[in-house]
Copies of this chain bind each other. A is one copy, B any other.
Amino acid sequence: MNLIFTHHPADSLNTLLKEAGRPHAMILADSHTLSACVEPLREACPALADAPVITVEAGDVNKNLDSLRHIWEQMQQLGATRRSLLVNVGGGMITDMGGFAAATFKRGIRFYNVPTTLLSAVDAAVGGKTGINFGGLKNEIGAFCDADAVVISTSWLATLPAEELKSGYAEMIKHALIDSPAEYRRLLDFDIAAADLTGLLPLVERSVMVKKGVVEQDPREQGIRRALNLGHTAGHAFESLAMRRGRPVPHGYAVAWGLVVDLIISHMKLGFPSAAVHELAAYVGRVYGVMPITCDDYPALLELMSHDKKNATPGAINFTLLDAPGKIHIDCIVDARDIEAALDIFRDLMGI
C-alpha cells in the first residue's frame, strides 16, 4: 500500500495515477465533499480531470445497502472493468463504503482513499476495515481489504468545524497513548484549537503510523489490534447513551471521555500513574467538555458496554488498559463493581 502524507494531495494523486498507468478512474464523493473537495481536486489533478463522479448522500445513516447498491450500479453503468480504480474522497463513511464497493465489484478492483476529515485520516482510511451498517448495527457487513493508496493531507481540514478537528484529535490521543510517553506529551502540548494545519500534518503522520504498525501485526483483529479499542468500550457506551437521549455527541468526544474512564481503570488495576489520569481528565474537560451522567445511568452504560462486539465472551466486559503510555494490555476483563467505581471517579474528576 502506498501511504502518502502531503500538503499537495492533487499532485500526489496525479503521480500515483500516472505510475499506475492511468487506469480508468472513478471518484466516489458525498454531497459535502463534491463541491468542497472533488471539484478543486479535479481542477488540480489532470489524471482525474475527466473522471466521472459517483455521489451518495452524506451522513453515517446513508452508509447502507441502498447506497452501496447505487455505487455498484453506477460503476457498472460507467463500464468499470477489473482494471478500473475507485478514488474515495470523503470522511470515514465514504472510505468505508467505497472501499467495500470496490472490494466486491467483480470480486475486487483497486481503490484509493483520500480522507477529508481528521477522524477519517487517522482512523478509517488506513487499516483495511471496509463496510456498511446493516439491520441497525454499525459496520455489520464488510470486508478486510487494504486501499492500494491512501493520500493524507491536512489541507482539507481548513473549512471543517472545530468540533470535527477535536473529534479526530481524540483518536490521535488514543494512538499516542498506545505509542509512547513522548508522543503523548507532544499531543497534549499541541494546541488543536489553534488549527495550525501545517504543524498538524507530522502529528497525523506519526498517529497513522502507530495504527498501521498495530494493524500489520494483526490485520484480522484476533489479538493485539484490540489495542486500538483503548477508550472505546466506555466511549461507545457514552455515544450510544447520548444517541438514546436524542442528543448525539461526536464520536471523538465520546472516545475522549472513554479514554479518561480507561485510564482510571488502568490506575485501579495496573497502577497507571494517578497524576497522568488527572492531567488527561483536565485536558478532556477543557477541550471536549463533559457529558452529564448520574449513577442512574450506570445500568444502561454497563449494559451497552457488555454488548460491545469486541467482547470475546458473552457477558464479560473487555477493556484495553495501560500501565503507562506505550505499555498496553489487551483483553482485561473488568467486573461491574470496578466499572461503577471508575465511573464515580470519572464524575468526580470531570466535575459532573
Contacts and interface: CB of A to CB of B under 8 A. Distances in A.
Contact of A141 (B81, B104, B131, B141): B104
Given A72-B134, A134-B76, A309-B82, A129 B143 contact: no
Interface in A97-149: 100, 103-108, 129, 131, 134-135, 137, 139-144
A126 to B, nearest CB: 16
A64 to B, nearest CB: 11
B104 A135 contact: no
A218 B144 CA distance: 20
Given A69-B65, A82-B309, A131 B107 contact: yes
A185 to B, nearest CB: 35
A82 B108 CA distance: 23
Given A65-B69, A69-B65, A143-B143, A106 B309 contact: yes
B65 A143 contact: no
Interface in A69-113: 69, 72-73, 76, 81-82, 100, 103-108
Contacts of A135: 72-73, 76
Nearest to A106: B140
A142 B107 contact: yes
Contacts of A81: 309
A103 B145 CA distance: 12
Contacts of A107: 129, 131, 139, 142-144
List 3 A-B pairs, minimum CB-CB distance, nearest first: A107-B142, A76-B135, A104-B141
Interface of A: 65, 69, 72-73, 76, 81-82, 100, 103-108, 129, 131, 134-135, 137, 139-144, 220, 309
